[in-house]
Amino acid sequence: ETLKRIVSTLAIKNDEIHNFIDTLNHTIKNVQINSSNAISELDEEFDGLYSILDEMKGSMSNTIQQEEARKIKALQDQLTQCSSALESSEELLELAAQSLDIKDPGEFLK
């Protein structure tokens, strides 16, 4: 009788262990599924962030290039004006030097 009870208890415990193993296997699958879903959501979130950052990078790069072009144009305009002023100044210096060489007052007034 005692042996039957022990065997019956062992059989019940054996069933409980099988049920617990099934529960553990089910929990493992759920953890794997949840982790996979979390990684997928994380990938989507980061893809969205990368997309936003890439758009911002493009916009900021465009702004920098426009500013560069504006500044270079302004500097080139100043360079052109300085070159023209220098050319006029050189012509004026040449005329002044020639004027200094004129000895005749009548010729000088012309």
Please work out, in degrees rounded to the nearest 5, the angle formed at the alpha carbon of residue 107 by the alpha carbons of 105 and 110: 110
Model confidence band, residue 103 (pLDDT cutoffs 50, 70, 90): confident
Give me the percent of the chain exceeding a pLDDT of 90: 84
pLDDT at 104 over 90: no
In this prediction, residue 59 carries a pLDDT of 98
At position 25, the amino acid (one-letter code) is: N
Q: Please enumerate, as own/partner, the contacts of 2-9 that have beta carbons within 8 Å and a separation of 24 or more.
A: none
Model confidence band, residue 4 (pLDDT cutoffs 50, 70, 90): very high
pLDDT at 108 over 80: no
Mean pLDDT across 65-88 = 97
Task: Centre a 10 Å sphere on the Cβ of residue 105 and count the other Cβ atoms it contains.
Answer: 7
Question: Which two structure tokens, joined as six digits, stand for 78?
Answer: 């100043």
Q: What are the CA-CA distances from residue 39 to residues 28, 53, 85 (Å)?
A: 16, 20, 67
